[in-house]
Amino acid sequence: MNEIIKNMILHDMVTCLDDNQYEKLNCILVKVLSNYQIEEVKSETNDKTNQHYIDSFLSAKRLEGCSEKSLKYYKSTIEMVLNSINKSIKNVTTNDLRNYLTQYQEEHGSSRVTIDNIRRILSSFFSWLEDEDFIIKSPVRRIHKVKSASVIKETYSDESLELMRDNCDNLRDLALIDILASTGMRVGELVLLNKDDINFNERECVVFGKGDKERIVYFDARTKIHLQNYLNSRSDDNKALFVTLRKPFNRITISGIETRIREMGRKLDINKAHPHKFRRTLATKAIDKGMPIEQLQKLLGHQKIDTTLQYAMVKQSNVKIAHKKYIG
């Protein structure tokens, strides 16, 4: 190994030295290196180092309040990238990451949104490494946001909401649609609710959002009545706010709600029926009626106001009215 090191140094210096200097350097290297036993560092060390950095990053994100679901996604994405590149984190270059993203898109036929999600995770990871002085500069800095077409996602019309209500064949589904439509809560928040979480007098309830952040959401009078009717009709002793229609009356799951809404959408010919669409519908209505964006952000439980703006789609009819009012 000593001989290999000596030859590598001499090879790199050969163009910088004359014959006498080259020979002198050779003698010095032989003398100095003879006092040391040099061993090659195995690749496993790099793997352990990489994993150490990943674990430290995830611990930092956990402290910031990231959900376990997000942390698992971060972990799998970063490990997948680093395993593919097969380098120590400190040696990863911008070209390595660019080539990975290009290859990944070609092999998987991924959308631009998916590729940009991977880029954002890598940016967060390497920026953290830079901030913590583990690397000098993030290699993701020069990889810009992947541009994707802006798609205006649909909301439920008033007619669609009434159709769903009119075609509910049980009290649970009616209460389910009303609470999703009037609170705008996430379906993941809804399935965690218990009966005791509901304050009927104030028409409000406390939900736990992303990162276990607590917030209050509100529901209307119609939801109150339909929710009370549903709870009064139940004979089970499950503390969950919503349970399955059949025994043993387990707490309803996210997939259970999604399946129910999709089935209703197909039956009534409502395009892209999904629980999350209620949330987007509420946000759009709130903006159209003049609700300040900061208040809507708090109601929806968004950490960043940019997220709220993505949810709230301004109706084209209102744009036309505003144009007539302000421009003529």
Amino acid at site 171: L
The total domain count for the chain is 3
Mean pLDDT of 242-250: 94
Same domain, yes or no: 96 and 123? yes
Same domain, yes or no: 80 and 173? no
Same domain, yes or no: 317 and 177? yes
List 74's β-bridge partners, or say none. none
The owner of tokens 């959900």 is 67
Same domain, yes or no: 109 and 69? yes
Same domain, yes or no: 187 and 214? yes
The CATH number of residue 81's host domain is 1.10.150
The CATH number of residue 278's host domain is 1.10.443.10
Same domain, yes or no: 183 and 230? yes
* pLDDT tens, position by position, 1-60: 667 777 778 766 766 777 788 788 888 888 888 887 777 655 444 445 899 999 999 999
Mean pLDDT of 179-202: 94
pTM tops 0.85, yes or no: no
Domain that holds residue 18: 2-33
SS (H, E, C) 279-310: HHHHHHHHHHCCCCHHHHHHHHCCCCHHHHHH
* pLDDT tens, position by position, 197-213: 999 999 999 998 776 77
| pLDDT: which is higher, 311 or 101 | 101
- 71 vs 64: CA distance, rounded Å: 11
pLDDT above 80 for 287 = yes
Mean pLDDT of 295-301: 89
* pLDDT tens, position by position, 64-105: 777 788 899 999 999 999 999 999 998 999 999 999 999 999
Instruction: Judge residue 211's burial from the number of C-beta atoms within 10 Å of its C-beta, 0-12 exposed, 13-18 middle, 19 or more buried.
Output: middle
Mean pLDDT value across the chain: 86
Count CB atoms within 10 A of the CB of residue 47: 14
Which residue in 287, 243, 276 sits closest to 155, CA to CA? 276
